[in-house]
Amino acid sequence: MTHIPTSVLPFPELADALPLEDVMALSRLAGAREARIWTRNRIEECKKQLDALIAIQNTITPINTLPNELLTKIFASIPIYSWLSAPWMLSMTQICRRWRAVVLATPEFWVKPLEYWADSYNGRELNHHLPVFLERSSPCPLQLYELERSSDKSYYG
């Protein structure tokens, strides 16, 4: 256990999990203000390192060893009943950078019918997301199916 002088940290034991290099850097700081600045900067450095490690891990997962052409075929052939909502489809672009690039470059992915339920929330959801689906499905036609018609006029706008 290497403790930092109490003039810098009120609870020096908090630094016990840090690498010795960081503990020594903290111990050389003049006071709390410098310690706050140093820790803020160090946190940003660690976040960048963590992002890089996550990216490396993602690139070596088995599914990411598949060629883009095969991922495109997989994304384009997801069964229609899986497409329950626009947010689910949009979430596919947030898995990783590679999936985002492949999904955005696959118009067939966006052609899948948008199934929406007969309630006002999903009517707004469809109206909100329709331009995105139209743009991303180009040049393929976008198929829309109405599963149930509501007599509630607020459903359509």
In this predicted model, what pLDDT tens digit does every residue of 100-125 receive, in sequence order?
999 899 888 877 654 443 333 455 55
Between 156 and 138, residue with greater pLDDT: 138
Q: Which residue has the tokens 């040049």?
A: 139
pLDDT for 70-80, tens place per residue?
A: 999 988 887 66
- Model pTM above 0.85: no
Per-residue b or e along 60-84, where b marks 16 or more CB atoms closer than 10 Å to that residue's CB: eeeeeeeeeeebbeebbeeeeeeee
